[in-house]
Amino acid sequence: MYSATVRRQALDLINHGTSLRSVSRSIGVNRTALREWRDHLEKAQATRSDCPRCGDERTLPEPRADYAYLLGLYLGDGCISAGGDPAKGVWKLRVICADAWPGLIQECVRAMQAVRPLNKVMLQQKQGCQEVSSYSRHWPCLFPQHGPGKKHLRRIELQPWQRAIVAEFPGEFVRGLFHSDGYRGVNRVRRVLADGDHWYAYPRYLFSNKSKDILGLCGQALDRLGIEWRFARPDVISVAKKRAVARLDEFVGPKY
């Protein structure tokens, strides 16, 4: 019998490409045992790898509607970073949700869990907000927009398979974007007329993001939904026409 430590040490060496013969020589475990450990590990990994994007048969992440929503949240305000030791290849997806909107925290948790059902979703209280996170080896497979540096400083482009999902579920995608980086509020405008000042108030949606690419993706999805929009500022999309606001209310709604 070999100890668990010896076994782990051996597997680490094998994973790093060391030959069974060298491993056997350096830690004194016979090759038959090493081969069995290696083959078992491969089998275990094969059944554990449930990633739709890096397996032999590439499929779309499911449920696609939840993926579209999570993609919106990720592009709006999420980030992927190494989860612990980068050599282990485990990644952490994080979305920050304000305490003020408990409903959105629940939706974020639900979508993250639905897309990676075998990975635990965690909540961590931060000042005024909750960090919703989950560890997986496959977040970069699912969100290939991941890369070094801030999103607005690099090119953000959807892969063809992501475009297909967004085309199928544009409402869910827009909902994710508005839930992370957007806002539905009341805009008040003053009109000065002959008989004095008049104030008008109307609801509108704003989506602000520093990335021109992400603003572009939001605009395209709104176009696909037939919802009128314009730039209120170079980094803010505004949906303010009555009919357009009513359409967004159907599937985005105020934060809650």
Catalog residues that contact Zn ion under the rule CB under 5 A. 51, 53-54, 138, 141
- Minimal distance, residue 150 CB to Zn ion, in Å: 24
Question: 136 Cβ partners below 8 Å, 6+ apart?
Answer: 90, 91, 93, 116, 119
- Minimal distance, residue 44 CB to Zn ion, in Å: 16
3-class state of residue 231 by DSSP: strand
Half-sphere exposure of 106 (CA within 13 A, CB side): 6
Q: Which is nearer to Zn ion, 65 or 141 (CB)?
A: 141
Q: Which is nearer to Zn ion, 3 or 47 (CB)?
A: 47
- Minimal distance, residue 21 CB to Zn ion, in Å: 31
Q: Which is nearer to Zn ion, 53 or 184 (CB)?
A: 53
Q: Which is nearer to Zn ion, 46 or 54 (CB)?
A: 54
- Minimal distance, residue 17 CB to Zn ion, in Å: 21
Residues composing the chain: 256
- Minimal distance, residue 4 CB to Zn ion, in Å: 27
Structure token digits, residue 12: 């680490």
Question: 206 Cβ partners below 8 Å, 6+ apart?
Answer: 182, 183, 185, 232, 236, 237, 238, 239
Structure token digits, residue 54: 């890096």
- Minimal distance, residue 63 CB to Zn ion, in Å: 17
- Cβ atoms of 216 and 224 closer than 8 Å: no
Q: Which is nearer to Zn ion, 144 or 203 (CB)?
A: 144
Phi first, then psi: give them for residue 174, nearest 5 degrees.
-60, -40
Q: Which is nearer to Zn ion, 45 or 124 (CB)?
A: 45
C-alpha distances out from residue 215 to 76, 128, 144, 145, 228, Å: 9, 26, 18, 15, 14
Q: Which is nearer to Zn ion, 54 or 123 (CB)?
A: 54
3-class state of residue 112 by DSSP: helix
- Minimal distance, residue 43 CB to Zn ion, in Å: 18
Work out the angle at residue 82's Cα, subtended by the Cα atoms of residues 81 and 84, and round it to the nearest 5 degrees: 135
